[in-house]
Structure 1
Amino acid sequence: MTHPDLPAGGVRTLEPAVRAASVADIRAAFEAGMRDFMAAPVFGLFFGAIYWLGGLMLLTLPGYFGYVWAVFPLAAGFALIGPFVAVGLYEVSRRRETGEPLTWPLVLQAVWRQGGRELSWMAFVTLFIFLIWMYQVRLLYALFFGFASLDPLLFVQQLFTTADGLIFLGIGTCVGAILALVTFSITLVSFPLLLDRDVDWITAMITSLRVVRESPEVMLGWGLVTAVVIFVAMLPAFAGLLFVLPLWGHATWHLYRRLVVHPVAT
């Protein structure tokens, strides 16, 4: 089975084109993602478990070492690295689409090969944004609460019952929303594009931005729904990510395939 946008004898160019998205595209991508998850649930649960366990570590370790202030921003910023963790899911969907064998060695090797390619630069970009998020939260914490570590209960009390705490929450939420919007815009289709095609990471980011610009209302709606679902999935000790990551990972692949068109030269 070949990609539908590649005619027989055609040769791909490096500049992908984008098309406008509709709610129907979102629905179709989600339905296709559900089919992928149901057809290969072990792969989905495996990568979902990695994401879940990583979330649990970020939730428990800061409190254990006395950095209670870092628990909430770490949990909030953790979603930023979701597209990178989902690379294995993109590979599963790609193989199902093309009819290639779907085995653990082949999927894991495909993911491992990305370590020395352009996709690793995109991973660095998302990690850099995550670090910016954490540093600005640390700066705000120092400005409003000083440098001393607070008792967990005292910190929560000050966070929600004092003017400084509410201002801290307000500013942090606004900055986080801006960083989340930037990350969403540059990673919406960049990771699956880099896995699928031989393009550089700058081109991948620009293509992702063009997808968002082409249909801002639909794409931002998709991003808002994604953020809400991930937040709900995190409430039961991050356990919901076991199922949310596979569904959204597979759906993202199919959304990329619907919105990014690779021109061909015959």
Structure 2
Amino acid sequence: MEVLDHDTAIPPTPPQVAGDLAFGDLGRALAAGWRDFRSMPQFGMFFGGVYVVAGLAMGWAAITGGEPTWLIPAMAGFPLVAPFVAVGLYEASRRREAGQPLSWRAVLGALKGHGDDQILSMGVIVFVAFSFWMIVAHAIFAIFMAESGMGGESIEAFLTPAGLMMLAVGSAVGAVMAFAFYAMTVISLPMLVERKVDFLTAIIASFTVVRRNFIVMLGWAAIIAVLLFVAMIPAFVGLMVALPVLGHATWHLYRRAVA
């Protein structure tokens, strides 16, 4: 696979981020994301399909393994890996915007970044974040279910007072973790696709964008969460469209946020 063209990569300069994002920018990003998806659906359907297959495999493993209750924390944490899956979509949008030729080799090669393993390092962080969430979810489940005297073999366990409290606590903890992870990746991964920078610089820029435009970026996080959740309901199939549109849209929002 070829790596991103070094002659078209932006030199390593300190990223300057905008502090004037508005909700109208979110609408324009979604519209641009939809246009990208319609103009090159093969890439969106491919990456969306990978995500759907992974979700179905996760559900199958939980059910056949006799642990159906773990579908809830797994589905809650599943969107954490979406930004990394969307790396190829960022590259497709970048190439379409720049008028560069689109090819499977170039788009899939985006995972290699600029040959410096910075995107792969972010992939490791994504995997660690998902694993950490599952550990925390297991701990919360064990604490509350131990008090109720029920195990994890039945969905009915969630309908007990202890189960409902567990869902409330788990949702609050999960929301905080998810937003922190979102703030870390929403700008950093598109930046690593476009620019030859280290992942720490990209992460700092991502946090800075979220901090300077907190309300708007919180709104973007809510849009992503709602669309991904709704798309997962019909056996994950809705992700075939929701994921690529959001991925392309995130690229355009990044382009608005970073000079």
- TM-score w.r.t. length of structure 2: 0.90
Give 1:60's aligned residue.
60
Shift of 1:115: 8.0
The letter of the residue matching 2:201 is T
SS of residue matched to 1:101: coil
C-alpha root-mean-square deviation of aligned residues, in Å?
1.8
Give 1:171's aligned residue.
169
2:62 and 2:68 in contact (8 A); partners too = yes
Could you tell me how far apart the structure 2 residues matched to 1:224 and 1:113 are? Answer: 28
SS of residue matched to 1:56: helix
The letter of the residue matching 1:50 is V
Could you tell me which runs of 5 or more consecutive residues in structure 1 were left unpaired when the two chains were aligned: 1-10, 262-266
Q: Which of 217, 224, 228 is matched with 1:226 structurally?
A: 224
Could you tell me how far apart the structure 2 residues matched to 1:64 and 1:144 are? Answer: 24
Give 1:17's aligned residue.
16
2:23 and 2:216 in contact (8 A); partners too = yes
**1:44 equivalent in alignment to 2:44:** yes
Cα–Cα, structure 1 residues 13 and 114, in superposed 2: closer, same or farther, change >3 Å?
closer
Shift of 1:105: 2.1
Give 2:137's aligned residue.
137
Could you tell me which runs of 5 or more consecutive residues in structure 2 were left unpaired when the two chains were aligned: 1-9
2:90 and 2:248 in contact (8 A); partners too = yes
1:119 and 1:191 in contact (8 A); partners too = yes
Deviates more, 1:170-179 or 1:63-72: 63-72
Count of residue pairs the alignment pairs up: 247
2:111 and 2:120 in contact (8 A); partners too = no
Cα–Cα, structure 1 residues 122 and 109, in superposed 2: closer, same or farther, change >3 Å?
closer
Give 1:264's aligned residue.
none
Shift of 1:240: 0.5
Shift of 1:114: 6.5
Could you tell me how far apart the structure 2 residues matched to 1:33 and 1:158 are? Answer: 41
Give 2:254's aligned residue.
256
- TM-score w.r.t. length of structure 1: 0.88
Residue by residue, what CA displacement relative to the aligned partner does 1:19-76 show, whole Å, maximum 9, x if unpaired?
0211121122111111111110111101100011111111121121122231111111
Shift of 1:137: 1.1
The letter of the residue matching 2:251 is W
Give 1:184's aligned residue.
182
Give 1:30's aligned residue.
30
